Amino acid sequence: MKIFKFGGASVKDAKGVKNVVEVLETVGYDNTLLVVSAMGKTTNALEEVIKNYFRNKEELQSSLQEVKKYHNEILLELFEKESHPVFWKVDGLFAELSSFLGRNKSPNYNFVYDQVIGFGELISTTIISQYMQETGIKNTWLDVRNFIKTDATYRDANVDWESTQQNITEGVNKGLLNITQGFLGSDPNNFTTTLGREGSDYTAAIFAYCLNAESVTIWKDVPGVLNADPRYFENARLLNQISYTEAIELAFYGASVIHPKTLQPLQRKEIPLYVKSFVNPTEQGTSVSKGQDLEPHVPCFIVKKDQVLLSLSSLDFSFIVEENISEIFKLLHDHRMKVDVIQNSAISFSVCADNKFNNLEGLLNILKAKFKVECEEGVSLYTVRHATQEALEELEHGKDILLKQRLQNTVQLVTR
């Protein structure tokens, strides 16, 4: 069985949905499972709904209406008659979303986030499944929450592999074209959970692992895995082949083309991963597979914007020792700050972290009672794999470097 994953950019409008059908007709879709994200910027739009739910109730309905309008425009382009069943199916999902917002009593932001945000994927896959039926491509729509079971760590759930394996083995018919949602799962009480932003790649890997798939293909708006993000770097080059290990390293450091958790399940069963263009589906793209000789022969650049650099030292001129570092890491963990770089000396400890859950203020209040704290927000973290001196000099030119760290194959810079 093959697993195909289509992200939000590939289905951002009616033209994109039609192109997905063209891709399937071009490359074939027998014994295939499609994992599909929310359409376009729907996740961002639903995050606005969630923000208004908690902070600005007056704007809640208008922000929700914007999401409905966006999807309705796509529906009207794809289907000739408003009497088509897809219209009431999508209306039903929006009614379910509105009902949750009306009856919810939980003040837990992360819980509410997961219950709301998942409607993006549920709606997109409903529309695409129905459109494929309309064009003669028979398919089975699957609710991924019945298959991927997780714990109740909302917004970053951990997979219960044993239950998930059983559900997928028993519930997925390999002989059909199946379509399901990326990014989502459900906890032991059947509440919706999410696997972290951009988690649809991971969903594809979970299904591939449990189904012993022959391959996974991630369809992107770029020709494959590039050695740099073309939005930030000129002359980005395609990497035709890379190893699992190299792809894991690139993803870990923040390369946006592959979700960090995706590679390990595939590596465990040596399932090849292909990253290809949905614009030019017959082009080679990038293959990720086993092999030590598949390392890139050019420097690879990764940038993460809007990071936080914390520099800590003791209040009483004592050394920063294991006990202090252990306490710092516990606080970082408790405040769900994703650590990207650490650097320490006898009297100081620096950490560059991602404040994706907006818990920085609470963390600083605790740290400042125990340490002298310098905090620099809005910094950029550059990671260079297989760096050359020429590449580093070009990258560093004109930048205010706050921290620099060199490992065997990797150089990291934090810049203002």
Residue 296 has pLDDT above 80, yes or no: no
Identify the band that residue 63 occupies on the pLDDT scale cut at 50, 70 and 90.
Answer: very high
In the chain, where the domains are located? 2-213, 300-415
Residue 177 has pLDDT above 80, yes or no: yes
Instruction: Copy the structure tokens of residue 110.
Output: 């992360």
Residue 292 has pLDDT above 80, yes or no: no
Average model confidence (pLDDT) for the chain?
95
Annotated binding site for ATP: 5-8, 231
Considering the segment(s) 300-415 as one domain, its CATH architecture is: 2-Layer Sandwich (3.30)
Q: How many other CB atoms are found less than 10 A from the CB of residue 270?
A: 9
Residue 39 has pLDDT above 70, yes or no: yes
Closest of 167, 70, 59, 153 to residue 111, by C-alpha: 153
Identify the band that residue 46 occupies on the pLDDT scale cut at 50, 70 and 90.
Answer: very high
Q: What is the pTM of this model?
A: 0.86
The CATH homologous superfamily of the domain defined by 2-213: Acetylglutamate kinase-like (3.40.1160.10)
Q: Which residues contact 9 (CB under 8 A, 6 or more apart)?
A: 16, 40, 220, 221
Identify the band that residue 294 occupies on the pLDDT scale cut at 50, 70 and 90.
Answer: low
The type of residue at 409 is N
Residue 413 has what pLDDT? 97
Residue 207 has what pLDDT? 98
Annotated binding site: 5-8, 43, 121, 231
Instruction: Copy the structure tokens of residue 342.
Output: 């650490």
Over residues 78-82, mean pLDDT: 96
151 contacts 187 by C-beta, under 8 angstroms? yes
Residue 295 has what pLDDT? 67
pLDDT-wise least confident of 29-33, 155-159, 261-265: 261-265
Over residues 80-84, mean pLDDT: 95
Identify the band that residue 161 occupies on the pLDDT scale cut at 50, 70 and 90.
Answer: very high
pLDDT digits 0-9 by tens, 192-230: 999 987 789 999 999 999 999 999 999 999 999 999 988
pLDDT digits 0-9 by tens, 302-334: 999 999 999 999 998 889 999 999 999 999 999
To the nearest 5 percent, what fractions of the chain are helix, strand and coil?
A: 40, 25, 35
Residue 203 has what pLDDT? 98
Q: In sequence order, what are the beta bridge partners of 32?
A: 2
Closest of 330, 343, 337, 348 to residue 307, by C-alpha: 337
What is the rounded distance in angstroms from the CA atom of residue 216 to the CA atom of residue 198? Answer: 16
Torsion angle of C-alpha atoms 8, 14, 20, 23, degrees rounded to 10: -130
Instruction: Copy the structure tokens of residue 256.
Output: 């946006």
What is the rounded distance in angstroms from the CA atom of residue 318 to the CA atom of residue 215? Answer: 55
Same CATH topology for 2-213 and 300-415: the answer is: no
Annotated binding site for substrate: 43, 121
